[in-house]
Chain A
């Protein structure tokens, strides 16, 4: 039995400008114990899919189940086995950290939960804030509180919707160590993130979503293998020749060009020389998930008609 199963999930929103299809027949399973990544650009439908899984929203068609429990027909039971970290940085300004966690335990009918609450606070570096009002917490602390609140009932399936946005590097490490530990203990983890190096390091399998459709789904290492294996990276002060610009990823002065082999690297460099451009700090590195992501997204862009 899969931990999470999406079966032809579609969702159409009625907007002022007509219907908008946020999800279009999304189907895939996440096995128990997996650390699974869900990637995609903004507006791809990641959060919509998670909202349907969490029962915050209803699918227009299709079905979703958690550990075999249908999220629509057996909503309460499904929510009991699910811990969801929402993307929005929300909090209840009336209560302190410990109170918020005690109430959340109560809603799940978990009694005498103080030992686990202490462990959560300790693991997430919030112990010294236990009696602080939620308003006094920094953005990163509030984010970690969302994680703690999602875990009060020790859910076997954990869903994290961009949990590291706005969290500094050190605390991100703490958070991932904790989530990785829970995953080792058998909890299934579904993660969406914009930090692709995190997904590459943590996730065993990855699904990529674009315009409401699954455009890639495979083991992380297979995805990396399938992509162009090398990247030529250099710094350049002038504009790239058009032939290269079409393929390049440009961040300020830094240019990155995919290259399958030595011959293609030579061709790229030749094109620069012909244009009379001088590249600095030239290096060749292996393709990472970000390159795969851009490849996949680019390949799935509909050709614009002129």
Chain B
């Protein structure tokens, strides 16, 4: 697997050079969500026992940022390179499809984690401010939190790669993001506990792999969750494998990038 490190480093540097836009902006967005939803819903929504709504919201927002930004990184990089034509510099190299896959996916993980960490640090301000919050920045089960952040980000990075290969125009990419990624993340239990939903919607939520990522990640913080973290890990792991297999195969056949 030669040369993949150069591509990985390039992909990381690409978003880091415009970090204000790729890391700063999504952190601000999440803080706004926290301010508004936390303020409006704090006294009205009941989630886990002994966990305030704002505290419940923080890991959800962190994970949502991780997922959305991992997707944004690989998808926008790929679609931009295709449209600008500079993908040819990669197509002319001996880089294997595995190299492409690991470089794009892992750089997406780095971006997702960087934004997630940013959101977590920004929310630390609220934790200091509020005496009622009772939320520790340090997850109770850090390994679980890390495992879900990594696998979730990797899955969204691979999904972004697929979307980037598929999309031929920026509006197709926007459609993928707005009609698939956004609804699946918003309906995954970032803002509410699945148990508060009517029976039917609870069952629908259980079909959404994003739900397991959020729920598993939240388990890492509170040691409690809607479903067992092992079940979540299983669902996320299988989803990651399937999506990775699709992405690697599209790269192998040069789907929409080699004529």
Interface string of A97-110 (1 = CB under 8 A from B): 00110111111110
B130 at the A interface (CB under 8 A): no
Cβ of A84 within 8 Å of any chain B Cβ, yes or no, is: yes
Which of A79, A92, A106 sits near B86, CB closer than 8 Å? Answer: A92
Among the listed B10, B84, B85, B259, which residue makes an inter-chain contact with A103, where contact means beta carbons less than 8 Å apart?
Answer: B10
A244–B81 CA distance with the chains assembled, in angstroms: 51
Residues of A within 8 A of B14 (CB): 94-95
Does A93 sit within 8 A of B, measured CB to CB? Answer: yes
**Most chain B CB atoms below 10 A, which of A54, A90, A103, A104:** A103
For B94, the chain A residues whose CB sits under 8 A away are: 75-77, 79-80, 107-109
Q: For residue A242, give the distance in angstroms from its CB to the closest CB of chain B.
A: 44
How many Å lie between the Cα of A106 and that of B17 in the bound state? 19
Complex Cα gap A104–B85 (Å) = 15
Q: Which of A55-63, A207-215, A259-267 forms contacts with chain B?
A: A55-63
Q: A107 touching B85 by the CB < 8 A rule?
A: no
Q: Interface-forming stretch among B1-9, B120-128, B138-146?
A: B1-9
Per-residue CB contact flags for chain B residues 1-35 toward chain A (1 = under 8 Å, else 0) read 01101110110011001100000000000000000
Contacts of B6 in A (CB 8 A): 102-103, 105-107
| CB contact between B89 and one of A58, A75, A80, A92 (< 8 Å): that residue | A92
Given the interface pairs A103-B6, A107-B7, the reply to whether A56 lies near B92 with Cβ below 8 Å is yes
How many B residues have CB within 8 A of the partner chain?
26
Q: Is the CB of B259 within 8 A of A51?
A: yes
- From 89 to 148 in chain B, residues with beta carbon under 8 angstroms from any chain A beta carbon are 89-96
Q: B2's closest neighbor in chain A, by CB?
A: A109
Given contacts A103-B6, A106-B7, contact A54 B84 (CB under 8 A): no
Asked whether A90 lies within 8 Å of B84 as measured between CB atoms, the reply is: yes
B175 on interface, CB distance cutoff 8 Å: no
Distance between A202 CB and nearest chain B CB, rounded to angstroms: 23
What is the distance, in angstroms, from B4's C-beta to the closest C-beta of chain A? 9
Q: Does A163 contact B (CB under 8 A)?
A: no
Q: How near does chain A come to B236, taking the closest CB pair, in angstroms?
A: 31
> Shortest distance in angstroms between A128's beta carbon and chain B's nearest beta carbon?
22
Report which residue of B5, B10, B13, B258 has the largest number of chain A beta carbons within 10 angstroms of its beta carbon: B10
Contact A107 B93 (CB under 8 A): yes
A88 interface contact, C-beta 8 A: yes
Please state if B3 and A109 are interface contacts (CB–CB under 8 Å). Answer: yes
Instruction: Provide the residues of chain B in CB contact with A105, threshold 8 Å.
Output: 6
Q: B88 on the interface (CB 8 Å rule)?
A: yes
Which residues of chain B have C-beta atoms less than 8 A from A37's C-beta? Answer: none
User: CA separation between A92 and B18, bound complex, in Å?
Assistant: 14
| Complex CA–CA separation, A99 to B93 (angstroms) | 16
Q: Is A10 an interface residue (CB 8 A)?
A: no
A57 CA to B92 CA in the complex, in Å?
11
When the two chains form their complex, are residues B259 and A57 in contact, meaning their CB atoms are under 8 A apart?
yes
From residue B121, how far is it (CB to closest CB) to chain A in Å? 26
Q: State the Cβ distance, B141 to closest chain A Cβ, in Å.
A: 38
Evaluate contact between A91 and B91: CB separation under 8 angstroms. no
B117 shortest CB reach to chain A, Å: 23
> Once the chains bind, are A91 and B259 in contact (CB under 8 Å)?
no
A88 adjacent to B88 (CB under 8 Å): yes
Decide if A149 is an interface residue (CB 8 Å cutoff).
yes
Q: Is the CB of A56 within 8 A of B10?
A: no
Does A258 count as interface, using CB distance less than 8 angstroms? no
Which residue on B lies nearest to A105, using beta carbons?
B6
Q: Are A58 and B92 interface neighbours, CB within 8 A?
A: no
In the complex, which residue of chain B has the Cβ closest to the Cβ of A93? Answer: B84
A196 to B77, CA, bound (A): 39
Q: Are A57 and B5 in contact (CB under 8 A)?
A: no
Cβ-defined contact, A79 with B85, below 8 A = no
B106 to chain A, nearest CB (A): 15
Q: Which residue of B lies closest to A51 (CB)?
A: B259
Q: Is the CB of A90 within 8 A of B259?
A: no
B120 CB to nearest A CB, Å = 27
Asked if A40 is an interface residue, CB under 8 A from chain B, the answer is: no
Do B95 and A107 have beta carbons less than 8 Å apart?
Answer: yes
Choose one: A57, A82, A86, A95; the contact of B258 (CB below 8 Å).
Answer: A57
Do A106 and B9 contact each other (CB < 8 Å), given the known contacts A57-B258, A77-B94, A92-B84?
yes
Least CB distance, B103 to chain A, in whole angstroms: 10
A56-B258, A94-B17 known; A108 and B3 CB under 8 Å? yes
Partner of A107, one of B3, B86, B258, B259: B3
A residues whose Cβ falls under 8 Å from a Cβ of B = 51, 54-58, 75-77, 79-80, 82, 84, 86, 88, 90-95, 99-100, 102-109, 149-150
Q: List 19 A-B contacts (CB under 8 A).
A: A51-B259, A54-B92, A56-B258, A58-B259, A79-B92, A88-B85, A90-B89, A91-B84, A91-B86, A92-B86, A95-B14, A99-B13, A102-B6, A106-B7, A106-B10, A107-B7, A107-B90, A108-B93, A109-B94
Q: A79-B92, A91-B86, A102-B6 are in contact. List 18 more A-B contacts (CB 8 A).
A: A55-B92, A56-B91, A76-B95, A76-B96, A79-B94, A92-B86, A92-B89, A94-B17, A95-B10, A95-B13, A95-B17, A104-B93, A106-B3, A106-B5, A107-B3, A107-B89, A107-B95, A150-B92
